[in-house]
Structure 1
Amino acid sequence: MLIICTIIYLIFFRRRSPRVFLTAADVDKFQMQNNVNKTFYQRIPRIIHQTWKDKQVPERWNRSVESIRQLNADQFEYRLWTDADIHTFVRQEEPYLYQHTFVKYAHDIQRVDAFRYIVLHRLGGLYIDMDNGCYQSFESLLRILEAVDSDSPHLAAFPRTSPIGISNGFMISTKGHPLFKNLISRLPLFNHNYLIDYLTVMMSAGPLYLSINEFYFHQFSKQAVVRIVDEIVYSSIYTWHTPGNSWHGRDAQVVLYIYHWFRKHPLAIYFSPILPIIFIVVFILCRRRLRYRRKIS
C-alpha cells in the first residue's frame, strides 16, 4: 500500500529539489574524525522552545521535560511558552496574521502549530514536543548540522516520519530561514475546514502542512538548506518518547486506527487502490493553491 502511494507520489509530483538527509553514518563520520568542534561558525541559536497552556507541566511529562532541561542546561537557553505568551508574541510579530488567521482557528493546537513556525523564524533555535525526552545534549547535533553544511547561512532540520512526511514535533532552524517564512505566509491559504477535525489540524498548520510546503521548497545554491534527520538519529541517538498526542480526539483515533489497520491487515491489499486516489486529490488541491498563490503574489 505504502509502496503504491510512494510510486504515484514520485511519478506525478516532482520535488523542487532533492531531499538531503542526516544519517547515523554522518553522525559517526564527524564524531570519529573529530570534526565537530566549537571552531565551526554557529548559526543556529542555542534556544530550546517548548509550549504548554500554562507553567504547570503535566506530571506524565515531568521526566521527559526534565531531561531536556538538565542535559542542555550548559549550552542552551530554555523557554517554556504558555498560551498567553504565544498570543502576545504572535500579536507583536505577525499582527495581520494574528488578526485575520491566528485567532480564527477552530482548535488551540492550530495556534500552537502556527506559533512554532513563527518563533523559529523570528528567534531560531530548536523546538521539541513535551512528550520527547533526550539521551544527550542537542549541542552535538547542532554542531554536526553546522559542520556538514558549513557554507550555508540558513539551516533547518526535521525528523522523517512514515511513510514520506516530516514532523513538526521536533524542528531546528536558524533565524530567518526562508522555508519558515513560506510556512508563515501560507498559513491563511491552508486555513480551511477539511471535514474531519484531525485532518483540519494536520492540513492547516500541522505535520501535513509542513510536509507539503517542505516538498515544494527550493534549496537554492545551498543558501538555505533543509536536512531530514533519519529516524535512527532522531529516535535512537538523541531522543526517546512517551505517550503524547494530547490534542487527539475520537476522530484522530479512528483515522489512526484505520491507518494502522491498513498497514497490518492481510485484506488491506483489496482496499489499497482507493488510497492513491485520495492521496492524489489532496495533493492536486494543495498544488493548485500554491500555484494560485504564486500568480497573485
Structure 2
Amino acid sequence: MEYENENEKLNISNENLSTKKNRNYFDKSINEVKYLKKTNVKSILFRIFIFLLIILLLLFRGHVICIIGFINCYLTWPFSSPVHIKIDLLNLSTKPVEHEYIPRRMHHILLGPLSKSPPSSWLSARNSCISLHSNFEEHYYWTDNNSKEFLEKNYPWFLKSWNSYKTNVQKADALRYFLLHYYGGIFLDMDLYCLHKLDGLFNYLDNRVSSDQHIFLAVKAFPVGISNGFMISTRNHPLLERVIKNLELYNRNFLLPHATIVISAGPMCISIQIQLNRSLWNSILILDGKENMIGGKTNTPIFKHLGSGSWHKADDMIFKNIPMNIQRQNQTFSISIIVFIIFIFIFFIGRNKNFIKVIFRFIL
C-alpha cells in the first residue's frame, strides 16, 4: 500500500510539474506574441514615418535645397569665404585708369506706391549720389513701368516669377541682379546718401581686372554674407548669372516674413550662391570693416545710411537682437553649431543602434 501511495504521490507531483511547465510555456508564448505584436506595430509605424518623411522631402525638395544652402552659408562663411579687403576709401587714387572695365552707370530702384510719391529724404539721397557722380555715363531710376519693360525685353522668362513675388521688396531685390548683369555699374539703395565720390573705388577695382576678367564688390553683412544694398560689378558677371538662374528655385515661402525676403531674393540669396560657387571667388571682393557696414542708421566713410527698414517685419527683431559680439566671434558661433549637430547625431544613433540598418533595409 505504501508503495502504491508513493507512486500516486509521484504521479501527482509529475502532473503538477507538467502543468506548471505547460503554464509557463503558455505564458511565455503569450508574452512572445505580445512582444512580436508590439515590435510589428513599431516597425509598421516606423515604416509609415519614413514613408511620410520621404514624401515630404519630395514635395518640399525645393525648400530643402534652399535651406541646406542657407545652413551651408552660415556654417562655412566664417572659415572660408571670398577675399575680404580693408582699404582707405577716402584716399584712393582718382587718377584716370587706362581701361574702365566697370561701366560708369548708377542704378536706383523704387517700386510700388512709394514710386509715385517718394520720401523727400530718399530723393535727396539719390540726388546726392548723382551730383557727386555727374561724370557717369548714365543714372538709371527704375520704377514699375520701365522695370517691367526691361524684363520683357531682356529676360522675358523671368516675368512670371517676378510678378509672383508677394512684396515689392522682393521684386526690387531680384531686379538689381538683372540690371547689374545686363548693364554693369553700381547699384545703390534709395536710402544711401553719398558723402564722398566713388571714382577712387572704381579705379581701384578696374586696376584689379583685365579685359577677359570680371570683378564684383559688395559690403560685408552681419553675421555672414554680403549686403545687396550697395554692389559694383562688371557686365555679365558669372556670379550674377548664377543668382538670376536660381531665383525661380528660391522663390518660396519660408514661413517667417524676414526669412522669406532675405532668402528668396535678398542678401542671403546672393550670399548662398557665393558660397556654392567657389570657382568664382577670384572675381569677388568683400569690403570688410565694421565702419563700412550699412545696416541700420549709420555713417560710413562714403555713405550716410538713412536706415529706412521699410521691409522689416516683426521676426526681423530676432536677428537684430543677436548680440553684436557674435559678429566678432563668427568662428566660435559656427563651431558651437557644428558641435551641437554632431552631438545630437551621435546621441540619437547611440540610442538607436539599428536605426541606419533599419533605414537601409526599408529602402532596399
How far the C-alpha of 1:132 sits from its partner, in A, is 0.5
1:202 corresponds in structure 2 to 262
CA distance in 2, matches of 1:125, 1:83: 21
How far the C-alpha of 1:115 sits from its partner, in A, is 0.5
1:219-234 to 2 correspondences below 5 Å: 219=279, 222=282, 225-231=283-289, 232-233=291-292
2:134 aligned residue (40, 50, 73)? 73
TM-score under structure 2 length normalisation: 0.62
1:113 corresponds in structure 2 to 173
SS in structure 2 opposite 1:170? strand
Q: Would you say the 8 A contact 1:40–1:150 is kept in 2?
A: no
How far the C-alpha of 1:236 sits from its partner, in A, is 2.7
1:22 corresponds in structure 2 to 85
1:22-171 to 2 correspondences below 5 Å: 22-24=85-87, 31=92, 37-53=95-111, 54=115, 56-99=117-160, 101-150=161-210, 153-171=213-231
Q: Would you say the 8 A contact 2:180–2:234 is kept in 1?
A: yes
CA distance in 2, matches of 1:207, 1:7: 12
How far the C-alpha of 1:276 sits from its partner, in A, is 3.6
How far the C-alpha of 1:56 sits from its partner, in A, is 4.0
How far the C-alpha of 1:10 sits from its partner, in A, is 3.3
Identity percentage of aligned residues? 28
CA distance in 1, matches of 2:241, 2:324: 39
Distance 1:220 1:59, change over 3 A: closer
How far the C-alpha of 1:140 sits from its partner, in A, is 1.4
How far the C-alpha of 1:150 sits from its partner, in A, is 4.8
2:310 aligned residue (228, 232, 246)? 246
CA distance in 2, matches of 1:150, 1:203: 33
- Deviation track 1:184-222 (CA, whole Å, cap 9, x = no partner) reads 000011111100122111110001111111122234595
Q: Would you say the 8 A contact 2:89–2:200 is kept in 1?
A: no
Q: Would you say the 8 A contact 1:132–1:240 is kept in 2?
A: yes
Q: Would you say the 8 A contact 1:71–1:136 is kept in 2?
A: yes
How far the C-alpha of 1:27 sits from its partner, in A, is 7.2
SS in structure 2 opposite 1:79? strand
SS in structure 2 opposite 1:148? coil
How far the C-alpha of 1:260 sits from its partner, in A, is 3.4
Distance 1:45 1:55, change over 3 A: farther
CA distance in 2, matches of 1:91, 1:163: 36
Distance 1:26 1:47, change over 3 A: closer
TM-score under structure 1 length normalisation: 0.75
What letter corresponds to residue 192 of structure 1 in structure 2?
Answer: R
How far the C-alpha of 1:259 sits from its partner, in A, is 2.8
How far the C-alpha of 1:26 sits from its partner, in A, is 8.2
What letter corresponds to residue 10 of structure 1 in structure 2?
Answer: T
How far the C-alpha of 1:76 sits from its partner, in A, is 4.3
Distance 1:125 1:56, change over 3 A: farther
1:259-274 to 2 correspondences below 5 Å: 259-263=319-323
CA distance in 2, matches of 1:133, 1:81: 18
SS in structure 2 opposite 1:262? coil
**The structure with more radius of gyration:** 2
CA distance in 2, matches of 1:25, 1:105: 39
Distance 1:22 1:146, change over 3 A: farther
How far the C-alpha of 1:92 sits from its partner, in A, is 1.6
CA distance in 1, matches of 2:90, 2:324: 33
- Gap runs ≥5 in structure 1: 266-271, 281-297
Distance 1:233 1:219, change over 3 A: farther
Q: Would you say the 8 A contact 1:8–1:276 is kept in 2?
A: no
CA distance in 1, matches of 2:229, 2:292: 15
CA distance in 1, matches of 2:73, 2:178: 33
* 1:184 maps to 2:184: no
Distance 1:220 1:156, change over 3 A: closer
What letter corresponds to residue 39 of structure 1 in structure 2?
Answer: V
Q: Would you say the 8 A contact 1:6–1:164 is kept in 2?
A: no
What letter corresponds to residue 73 of structure 1 in structure 2?
Answer: S
How far the C-alpha of 1:8 sits from its partner, in A, is 7.9
Distance 1:55 1:7, change over 3 A: closer
CA distance in 2, matches of 1:180, 1:46: 18
1:10 corresponds in structure 2 to 76
Distance 1:174 1:136, change over 3 A: same
CA distance in 1, matches of 2:87, 2:166: 40
Distance 1:58 1:220, change over 3 A: closer
Q: Would you say the 8 A contact 1:24–1:233 is kept in 2?
A: no
What letter corresponds to residue 246 of structure 1 in structure 2?
Answer: S
What letter corresponds to residue 106 of structure 2 in structure 1?
Answer: I
How far the C-alpha of 1:14 sits from its partner, in A, is 7.4
